[in-house]
Structure 1
Amino acid sequence: MYAAFTVIGLGVLSYPARANDTSATVAGGGIHFKKSADISMDKEVLKISVDKIDIRYVFFNHADKEVHELIAFPLPLSPYGNAEDNWRVHPSWDEDYMARKLLDENPGSALDQHPSNCNLKCWLDNAAFINFERTVNGEKYGYNYRTQAFDPNGKDITNLLIKHKIPLSSAYLIGYMEEGALHQNKALQEKLKKLHLLDGKGNPLWKTQTTYFWQQYFKPQSETVVTHSYKPQAGYHWLTGKDIKTFDDIKIESRDLDEKSWRNYCVRPDDQAQILSYFKALRPDDSQVVRAMEVQYILSTGANWNGPIKDFTLEITPPTPDTIVAFCWPGAVEKSEMGTVIARAENFTPDKDLKVLFISLKPGI
C-alpha cells in the first residue's frame, strides 16, 4: 500500500486507492504509468531529504501522435490503524482535517497565535503533501483534487456524509492529542448513531483519502521534462540499547506499528562501526538514546514504462554532514564533502522501494 503517482481511468475515483500509511512514516512515490509501447523514461533524478523530495523526469514519446493520460497522486488513508492509534502521528496528509483545523483556530487572522501554539503558517509548514508542486517543460501546472470517505467495506460514503453535513475527516472528529469535534457535539453523535457510522466505542467507522489528479500530455516524437516536489512525512525512531557489546545489541524503537529491523536499511559495515563506537563511548549514566528519521519512497513504479530507466540518479542529502544515511542499494554509492550520498544506475528497472534512515549521533531528547 502506498501513495504514488498512478495513471487512472475516470472510474477509479469511486474506489479507495492503495496507500502505504504507517503510523509515523508515509511513503510518497513516483509516476506510475500503464505499460506503454509509446512512452519511455530516459532519465530520472531523485533527490531525497527529510524535508523535501524533488524528482525530475525526462520522458520520450516514441509515437507519431500525442499521448495523454489521467494521472493521480493518492495520499494515504487517514487515520492510520484505529482510533486508539491516532495519537501516534499528526494526520498532516488528511486535507479535510488540515482545512478544518485551520478554520477552527484561525477564524479571524492567518498570523495570530492560538492556544495550539500553531498559526496558519505553522500548520502549512508541517503539512505533508499539501504543498505538492509539478512542472512540465519548465512551466508550473496545477491539479485537481478530491477527498472521499470509505466505510470498512470500501464503500464510498462521501455523498452520504455531505448530505447530512458531517465532516469527512474522521481524524478531525476523533481529535489529535485533544478531544475531537465529535465528542463536543452531542447532536452530531446522535446523527452518526442513527446512520450506523459509529463503532462500539463511539468512534467514526470510516477513513478518508485525498487524491490529486491531472491530465498529462506527451508530444509526439518529443521529450517531455516533468518535475514534482513535495514534503515527505518522515517517521521518528529511537536507537536504544543496554549493555551494548555488538551492533545487533542496538535496537530500533519506533512509533510505527510496523516492527523495525536493521536489515530493512542495509547499514554498511563502516557505519555500523561508527554507531557502535558512539554507544560504547557513552558513560553508564548517559541516556543511551539516539534519534533516527525515516523517509520512504515508492521507487518500484518506475518499472511501468517502456523499457528500463535509461539514466537514474539518486541523491540523498542528510540534515547535517555528520548524519549517517542508511538504505539498501544494489550497487556502489559515493559521498560528497557535504555528506550527500549519490547512487547511479543505467538501464535501471527498480523492483524494490526505498527506506532511508537518517541517524544523528546525538543523544535523543
Structure 2
Amino acid sequence: MLRTILTAALATMAAPAFANDSVAELGTGGLILSRSDAVAMQSEDLFISPEKVTVNYVFRNNTDKDVSSIVAFPMPDIEGDPNEMPALPEAQSDNFLGFEVTIDGVDAKPQLEQRAFALGIDITADLKAQNVPLYPFGDAAKAALAKLPKDVTKDWEDRGIIIEDTADDGSGMQTAYVPFWQLRSTYWWRSTFPANKEVHVSHRYKPSVGGTSSVSFFSEGQFQSPQYDTYKTRYCMDQTFENVVRKAAKANPDGYPKYYESRIAYILTTGGNWASGTIGNFKLTIDKGSPKNLVSFCGDNVKKVGPTTFEITAKDFYPERDIDILLLEPSDNGGNGG
C-alpha cells in the first residue's frame, strides 16, 4: 500500500484590530495533499459566503495500487484572551466552525485532537487534571476555573495559563479568572484512494467573519492611509467600488459612508502539492449575501452570474494568492450594491 498524508490548511490569520468595535476573522482553507505522484486533484468547486463555505473535490488515484491516507483538518488556533475575542460561529462548541465532511456522499466521523498551550508549553495535562475543558471560550471552562483550589489558581496565573479579568456580567462589575491559553484543534480520519478510481470529498463549515462597525479606511471625506493602502492591496478595490463609497459619504450629512465591514479570509495557497501540482478544473463562487452589499476581492476573469454571486473558473489552476473578501453592508438598509 502506498502511504501518504492529507492535511487541511486552516491557518490562523486574524486581521488587525482597527478599533474597539472590531472583531477579527480567522482565515480558513481547504484540503491539501502531501507531495505525491499518485493522487491528482481533478476538480475543486469552492463556494464562499458569509453564512457558509463548501468545498467539493474530485481526487483520482492514477496508480495501480490503493493509497491509504490520514486526512486531517486543523482548525484555526484560538487564543483565550478576553480582550481579543475572534469571530466564532459556534462559540460554545469545540467544533466552533461547525465542520462536517463526506467521502463519496457518506458522512465521515472524524476524531478531534486538541492540545492547549501557554507560553508555548503544553498544558493539556494540567487542565485535564483539574477537569477544566480545553476550549477557552465556552462557559464550561469559566465555571471550572471558578472552582480551582487557591494554590492552583496562583500557580496558573504565574505561568500565564489564566489571567484576572473584570467585566460587567449583568449584575455589576465582577472580577474572575479567565482562560489565557492557546487551543490547537485538528479533526482527522482515515481514508483510502482506490487504484485508478475517483474519490469525491466534500467538506463544509461556517466561516469566521470579521467585522468593523464602520468603514475603517474612509473618514473626513477621503480615503485614509495606511489602512486604505492595505485594503487596496488585499482586496483589490477598484474605481467603481471606491466611487460608491464616496457617493455614500456625500449622501450622509455626517460625511461618512453608512456601511459596516465584514471580512472573510480563505487560505488557498497551501494547496498545489498533489500530482501535477495543479487543479484540473477550478471553480470559485463568491456570494455577497444581499444585493445591497458591496463586495471586493482579487481575481482574474471574474463574472457576475447572479444578483449576489460572482464566479471564477480556470483549468490547470495553480493558486498563487489567498482569497480575501471585503463586504460593505448598509448600516441603514440603504445602498445600491456592487
TM over 0.5: yes
Correspondences of 1:230-269 after superposition (within 5 Å):
230-237=205-212, 238-240=214-216, 241-245=218-222, 248-249=223-224, 261-269=231-239
Once the two structures are TM-superposed, the CA of residue 134 in structure 1 deviates from its matched residue by: 1.3
Residue 356, structure 1, aligned to residue 325, structure 2:
yes
Return closer, same or farther for 1:93/1:73 CA change in 2, 3 Å cut-off: farther
Give the TM-score of the pair, scaled to structure 2: 0.79
Q: 1:50 is aligned with what amino acid?
A: P
Distance of aligned partners of 1:321 and 1:218 in 2 relative to their CA distance in 1, 3 Å threshold: same
Q: Which segments of 5 or more consecutive residues in structure 1 lack a partner in the other structure?
A: 1-5, 9-16, 100-126, 254-258
The structural deviation recorded for 1:194 is 3.7
2:237 is aligned with 1:274: no
Offset at 1:350? 0.5
Q: Structure 2: which 5+ residue stretches go unaligned?
A: 16-22, 165-177, 334-338
User: Aligned equivalents of 1:133 and 1:211: distance in 2?
Assistant: 13
Residue 336 (structure 1) shift: 2.0
Q: Which residue pairs with 1:212 in the alignment?
A: 187
Matches within 5 A, 1:18-33: 19-22=12-15, 24-33=24-33
**Is the counterpart of residue 312 in structure 1 residue 282 in structure 2?**
yes
CA distance in structure 2 between the partners assigned to 1:226 and 1:199 by the alignment:
38
Counting aligned pairs with the same residue, the percent is 25
Distance 1:361 1:93, change over 3 A: closer
Contact 2:116 2:181 in 1 (8 A): yes
Q: Secondary structure at the match of 1:142?
A: coil
Residues 325, 92 of structure 1: alpha-carbon distance in 2 compared, 3 angstrom cutoff = closer
- Correspondence for 2:143: 181
Aligned equivalents of 1:322 and 1:128: distance in 2?
29
Give 2:111's aligned residue: 144
For 2:336, the equivalent position in structure 1 comes to: none
Change (3 A) 1:91 1:224: closer
Alpha-carbon shift at residue 172 of structure 1 (Å): 4.4
Q: Is the 8 A contact 2:26 2:87 kept in 1?
A: no
Pair 1:129 & 2:97 matched = yes
SS of the equivalent of 1:191 reads: helix
Q: Is the 8 A contact 2:27 2:208 kept in 1?
A: yes
TM-superposed CA distance for 1:200, in Å, is: 9.0
Question: How far 1:262 moved relative to its partner?
Answer: 2.8
Report the TM-score, using the length of structure 1 for normalisation.
Answer: 0.73
What is the distance in 1 between the residues matched to 2:139 and 2:205? 27
What displacement does 1:198 show? 4.0
The one-character-per-residue Cα deviations of 1:12-56 (angstroms, maximum 9, x if unpaired) are: xxxxx9633456201111112101111111111100000000111
Structure 1 partner of 2:86: 89
Whether the 8 Å CA contact 1:91–1:171 is kept in 2: the answer is no
Offset of 1:362 from its aligned partner?
4.0
Contact kept? 1:197, 1:205, Cα under 8 Å: no
Contact 1:128 1:232 in 2 (8 A): no
CA distance in 2, matches of 1:293, 1:287: 17
Corresponding pairs, count: 304
CA distance in 2, matches of 1:98, 1:345: 37
Q: Aligned partners of 2:245, 2:226: CA distance in 1, in Å?
A: 12
Q: Deviations over 1:186-229 (max 9, x none)?
A: x4443143465446954655322221111122111111111111
TM-align CA RMSD: 3.1
Does residue 297 of structure 1 match 2:266?
A: yes
SS of 1:277's equivalent? helix
Helix, strand or coil at the partner of 1:181? helix
Q: Indicate the structure with greater helix content.
A: 1
2:127 to 155, 161, 173: 161
Aligned pairs (5 A) from 1:220-235: 220-235=195-210
3-state secondary structure, aligned to 1:261: helix
Amino acid at match of 2:185: T
In structure 2, C-alpha distance between the alignment counterparts of 1:199 and 1:128, rounded to whole Å = 21
After superposition, the Cα gap between the structure-2 partners of 1:337 and 1:162, relative to the gap in structure 1 and judged at 3 Å, is closer
Equivalence for 1:120: none
Instruction: Confirm or deny that 1:62 pairs with 2:54.
Output: no
Q: Distance in 2 between matches of 1:34 and 1:324?
A: 37
Residue 61 to residue 199, structure 1, CA distance change in 2 (3 Å): closer
Q: Which amino acid aligns with 1:190?
A: D
Question: Residue 210 of structure 1 aligns to which amino acid in structure 2?
Answer: S
| Distance in 2 separating the partners of 1:211 and 1:167 | 16
Alpha-carbon distance in 1 for matches of 2:291, 2:225? 23
Distance 1:205 1:140, change over 3 A: closer
Assess if the C-alpha contact under 8 Å between 2:65 and 2:195 holds in 1: yes
Give the letter for the 1:224 counterpart: V
Shift of the 292–250 alpha-carbon distance from structure 1 to 2, 3 Å rule, reads: farther
When structure 1 is superposed on structure 2, of 201-210 and 138-147 the one drifting more is 201-210
Q: Is the 8 A contact 2:162 2:181 kept in 1?
A: no
Q: How does 1:36-51 map to 2 (within 5 A)?
A: 36-51=36-51
